[in-house]
A and B are shown apart, each in its own frame.
Chain A
Amino acid sequence: MFGRKRKAQEAARGGGLPIGLGRALEEMVRRHRRREALVFEGKTVTYQELEESANRVASGLADYGIRKGDRVAMMMPNIPEFAYTFFAIQKLGAVAVPFNTMYKGREISFILKDSGARAIVCLSNFANLINELREDCPDLEHVIVTGQRTLVFLDPDATVNVQIVCERSAFGSSDGALREIGVVLVDTLAELGVKDAWYKHQGAVRVGGRKIATILLSEIENLYVANVVTFLKQMDAEPLFKVLYVPPEIKDKALEPMTGIAEAAGNEVTFEQFKDAISSVLAARLGIHLEPGELTRDELIAYEKNRALANRI
């Protein structure tokens, strides 16, 4: 073992690796171009491919105005994009600020504010978490998202899913859409007996710091698609941890603190009552009158196709 160790020592020292992580990577790419640098879910990335991807991120970040010395936050698990982004930041001479992917709320806003990060590269799952902190983090200009690792939990007793698909013109800006949907949710909850719910702009509806509903707004062509999940009662996450492994000692940190209408209002509400409440609030608040309907023929074809894809795994 000691012979091997000495050799490794000499390789590192004698090789004259430059000080500076960006330059050091370039040197390793020169030496190992075709060798495998990363392996991820059966796919490999060579040193050269790693550098090319890092270069693309670096020049992309430069296009967004990121310069030497700027801080760039990172909130990602161990995926290749972590390596691309990390070395891109190093090549820019910028400063990487990676932080724990289980952080929530104030933990994140403290780090973003204290470091003065101008951009964050994060898993798409965290976009909502970050967006709602943007008002508190004036230095943060860009939220760059990667990976398709979102998880939505469904529970027949606890969760209601509301989707709104509409012309963008129905709301104007995305800001306006989020604000109005937020207000509709707060009013719906009030109608169901939850008096102190509040909406954090671009984020979620909470009661006393605990999440009771989430809003995710997407855009596609001329449409807005809003996905809203509301908790009728506090969801029991335990069965889900049987499917998605989370070490027992960090289970309570894996999910944001949550509550539900039953806990917050002190009485249970049925799914039907929720539907009626949100329908009447949409009418009262936004003048939107709902008429019961079914999917059209075109939509049914799209529905069958999407179902097949959803069950394909």
Chain B
Amino acid sequence: MDPWRLIYHPDGDTADVVSHGAAVAEGRIAGKYQLSTTLVPNTVIVQRSRTRGIIAGADVRVDRDAAASAGIEVAQAPRQGRNSARAVSTVPLGELMAKGSRKFDAEEVEPDDPSVILYTSGTTGNPKGVTLTHRNFHYQCTTVVPSIIPFTPKDTVVGVLPLYHVYGLANGLVATLLFGARFVMVPQYSPAALLEAIAENEATIMPAIPSMYQHLLTIARARSTAMPRSLRYCVSGGAPLPLAVLREFADVFETEISEGYGLTETTSSVCCNLSGEGYKEGSIGRAATGVEMRVVDEAGGEVSPGEVGEIVIRSDTVTPGYWNNREATAAAFSGDGWFHTGDLGYRDEEGVFFITDRKKDLIIRGGFNISPREVEEVIMLHPKVHEAAVIGVKDKRGEDTVKAFVVVMKDKTLSEREIIDHCTDTVAPYKMPRIIEFVETLPKSATGKVLRSDLRGETVDMRLVEQETA
């Protein structure tokens, strides 16, 4: 075999790493068309960059200033055209579209045909596929949403929530388009990108999660320039929004802001704590139009106001069941069609709902139920605590013990003793955290919910790829 050429570049820069390969490929192709007589051999290029760098695809927006100050070079990969290199065994969407027809009439579907399957990770075992039907989306957008979010065709909606999540998909993209409004897509969340999207497009409605509201406020506090005032209605969901954040945000951005509640299984929102007169701190509000909601005991009987039980929901916005998973479906529904959310909570005299905990997060010690959320709230009252999460861990005798994970405020120090002392005054002895672990961050889901199952160590690392055994 003819020898191959080795090009060895131990000290190039980031742009070199992109350019060498491209140059060799182009040079060869050009040679072919010019019927060049000097045959260029097959080539292996071994190279590295002498500084840190990022080679970014043509569509990526990289923060150039941040890169420069971090000493990171940025080089753009060449934009791929119709005739440029393409990854093997794939079909470019652009090519598929170019061949496709501009006209296509929608197929007739039945209301109960599945339209989307969304996978939610359970605490243990494999994720479950939640089947959502055309009826579910239709009902969510035409009946539930209008009682929660006042969309009109004149609105501009910020699409910052990921569209693979039910909240972003059902209350964001689909609802916006079925109301004839305008949807601003934010491909990669950063506080600055979100603020820019709101300001440049004069966005009027924003569904988002608590951490995003917090981040926007952090920017607002740091900047002397005025914040955009175009937002007129915001919804927070996915995790509880601290009241202080809600108030400050409403004030700084001159907008209404409400807290919603919903699940993948309910095609997102089913409940909303509307700001204004009916607002109740810490609640998820009343059931939305078209949604029946109850609090039940273990036997499925409705409990009286103020009593904690499991929240169950019945509505046309509720999934018919889990994909390929009859057991999970049977376990989640009671005979008369009530969907069991697994969330514990209560209803007050006025029909306003409050969530206390996830059923599976409940800690049981000496026969007493301990609400992790209650203990967390006490710990978070400490001025040096940024965030806290509480779980039950088994002690030597196999009984639940309260363990707290604590994230300390930036630049502050805090001892175990200080936390214990702080809790002693406010919580019953059996609820006291026995183990305290300081951590830098808490594991969270895409919508910012703390993943207690990760803290319990129940989740296996599903990201690893196993080697098949021959």
Q: Convert B98-109 into 0s and 1s, putting 1 for each residue whose CB lies closer than 8 angstroms to a CB of A.
A: 111111111111
A-B contact pairs, 26 of them (CB 8 A): A9-B146, A21-B138, A22-B107, A23-B109, A28-B180, A32-B180, A50-B177, A56-B98, A56-B102, A63-B96, A82-B173, A85-B93, A114-B323, A142-B91, A144-B90, A151-B57, A151-B60, A153-B52, A165-B21, A166-B4, A200-B465, A202-B89, A220-B29, A248-B440, A256-B463, A309-B78
Selected contact of A37 from candidates B100, B115, B134, B183, CB within 8 Å: B183
Known A78-B185, A148-B59, A200-B465; 5 more pairs at CB < 8 Å: A17-B138, A21-B138, A68-B107, A79-B59, A114-B129
Q: Does chain A have a CB within 8 A of B226?
A: no
Residues in A with CB closer than 8 Å to B56 are 150-151, 313
Q: Does chain A have a CB within 8 A of B300?
A: no
Closest chain-A Cβ to B265's Cβ sits at a distance in Å of: 16
Q: Does chain B have a CB within 8 A of A127?
A: yes
Q: Convert B453-468 into 0s and 1s, putting 1 for each residue whose CB lies closer than 8 angstroms to a CB of A.
A: 0000000011111110
Query: Would you list which residues of chain B between 411 and 431 have a CB under 8 Å from chain A?
Result: none
Q: Does chain A have a CB within 8 A of B334?
A: no
Residues in B with CB closer than 8 Å to A90 are 106, 115
| Residues A98 and B164 in contact, CB atoms below 8 Å apart | yes
| Residues A60 and B100 in contact, CB atoms below 8 Å apart | yes
Q: Does chain B have a CB within 8 A of A93?
A: yes
Residues in B with CB closer than 8 Å to A256 are 463
| Residues B54 and A154 in contact, CB atoms below 8 Å apart | yes
| Residues B129 and A163 in contact, CB atoms below 8 Å apart | no
Q: Convert A245-269 into 0s and 1s, putting 1 for each residue whose CB lies closer than 8 angstroms to a CB of B.
A: 1011111010011000000000000
Docked complex Cα distance between A218 and B30 (Å): 18
Docked complex Cα distance between A140 and B91 (Å): 13
Q: Does chain A have a CB within 8 A of B436?
A: no
Q: Does chain B have a CB within 8 A of A195?
A: no
| Residues A243 and B143 in contact, CB atoms below 8 Å apart | no
Docked complex Cα distance between A19 and B109 (Å): 8
Number of chain A interface residues as a range: 35 or more
Closest chain-A Cβ to B388's Cβ sits at a distance in Å of: 14
- Interface secondary structure of B, over-half rule: mixed
Docked complex Cα distance between A279 and B41 (Å): 16
Query: Would you list which residues of chain B between 159 and 175 have a CB under 8 Å from chain A?
Result: 159-160, 162-165, 168-169, 173-174
| Residues A300 and B25 in contact, CB atoms below 8 Å apart | no
Q: Convert A20-62 into 0s and 1s, putting 1 for each residue whose CB lies closer than 8 angstroms to a CB of B.
A: 1111111010011001111111100001001011111111111
| Residues B185 and A295 in contact, CB atoms below 8 Å apart | no
| Residues A21 and B461 in contact, CB atoms below 8 Å apart | no
| Residues A107 and B43 in contact, CB atoms below 8 Å apart | no
Of the stretches B61-69, B359-367, B373-381, B395-403, the one at the interface is B61-69
Closest chain-B Cβ to A227's Cβ sits at a distance in Å of: 7
| Residues A298 and B30 in contact, CB atoms below 8 Å apart | yes
Q: Could you say which of B116, B145, B159 has the most chain A C-beta atoms within 10 Å of its C-beta?
A: B116
The count of chain B contact residues (Cβ–Cβ below 8 Å) is: 166
Counting from the closest, the 7 A-B pairs by CB-CB distance are: A22-B106, A245-B190, A209-B464, A60-B100, A93-B107, A166-B42, A299-B27
| Residues B52 and A107 in contact, CB atoms below 8 Å apart | no
| Residues B465 and A144 in contact, CB atoms below 8 Å apart | no
| Residues B7 and A124 in contact, CB atoms below 8 Å apart | no
Q: Does chain A have a CB within 8 A of B76?
A: yes
Q: Does chain B have a CB within 8 A of A302?
A: yes
Selected contact of B53 from candidates A154, A272, A299, CB within 8 Å: A154
| Residues A12 and B178 in contact, CB atoms below 8 Å apart | yes
Q: Does chain A have a CB within 8 A of B184?
A: yes
Selected contact of B115 from candidates A21, A272, A296, CB within 8 Å: A21
Contacts A13-B142, A101-B164, A146-B92; A219 near B86 (Cβ below 8 A): yes
Contacts A31-B180, A36-B182; A95 near B174 (Cβ below 8 A): no
| Residues A165 and B43 in contact, CB atoms below 8 Å apart | yes
Docked complex Cα distance between A113 and B109 (Å): 25
Q: Does chain A have a CB within 8 A of B3?
A: yes
Docked complex Cα distance between A191 and B183 (Å): 54
Q: Does chain A have a CB within 8 A of B332?
A: no
Docked complex Cα distance between A125 and B55 (Å): 12
Residues in A with CB closer than 8 Å to B58 are 148
Residues in B with CB closer than 8 Å to A248 are 440-441
Q: Does chain A have a CB within 8 A of B26?
A: yes
Q: Does chain A have a CB within 8 A of B358?
A: no
Q: Could you say which of A35, A79, A220, A249 has the most chain B C-beta atoms within 10 Å of its C-beta?
A: A249
Q: Does chain B have a CB within 8 A of A172?
A: no
Q: Could you say which of A37, A125, A163 has the most chain B C-beta atoms within 10 Å of its C-beta?
A: A163
Q: Does chain B have a CB within 8 A of A118?
A: no
| Residues A19 and B6 in contact, CB atoms below 8 Å apart | no
Residues in A with CB closer than 8 Å to B187 are 40-41, 77-79, 149
Q: Does chain B have a CB within 8 A of A139?
A: no
| Residues A290 and B5 in contact, CB atoms below 8 Å apart | yes
| Residues B101 and A303 in contact, CB atoms below 8 Å apart | no
Selected contact of B66 from candidates A12, A243, A249, A294, CB within 8 Å: A243
Residues in A with CB closer than 8 Å to B83 are 220-221
Closest to A242 in B: B70
Docked complex Cα distance between A164 and B27 (Å): 14
Q: Convert A264-290 into 0s and 1s, putting 1 for each residue whose CB lies closer than 8 angstroms to a CB of B.
A: 000000011011001100100001111
| Residues B91 and A145 in contact, CB atoms below 8 Å apart | yes
Q: Does chain B have a CB within 8 A of A187?
A: no
Residues in B with CB closer than 8 Å to A36 are 182
Closest chain-B Cβ to A71's Cβ sits at a distance in Å of: 7
Closest chain-A Cβ to B21's Cβ sits at a distance in Å of: 4
Closest chain-A Cβ to B181's Cβ sits at a distance in Å of: 9
Q: Could you say which of A13, A92, A124, A132 has the most chain B C-beta atoms within 10 Å of its C-beta?
A: A124
Contacts A100-B446, A106-B464; A111 near B127 (Cβ below 8 A): yes
| Residues B91 and A9 in contact, CB atoms below 8 Å apart | no
| Residues B103 and A55 in contact, CB atoms below 8 Å apart | yes
Q: Convert B116-137 into 0s and 1s, putting 1 for each residue whose CB lies closer than 8 angstroms to a CB of A.
A: 1111000000110100001101
Q: Convert B36-49 into 0s and 1s, putting 1 for each residue whose CB lies closer than 8 angstroms to a CB of A.
A: 10101111111111
Query: Would you list which residues of chain A between 155 and 206 have a CB under 8 Å from chain B?
Result: 155-156, 159-167, 170, 174, 178, 198, 200, 202-204, 206
Closest to A91 in B: B106
| Residues B90 and A131 in contact, CB atoms below 8 Å apart | yes
| Residues B164 and A19 in contact, CB atoms below 8 Å apart | no
Docked complex Cα distance between A201 and B141 (Å): 44
Closest to A74 in B: B164
Q: Does chain A have a CB within 8 A of B206?
A: no
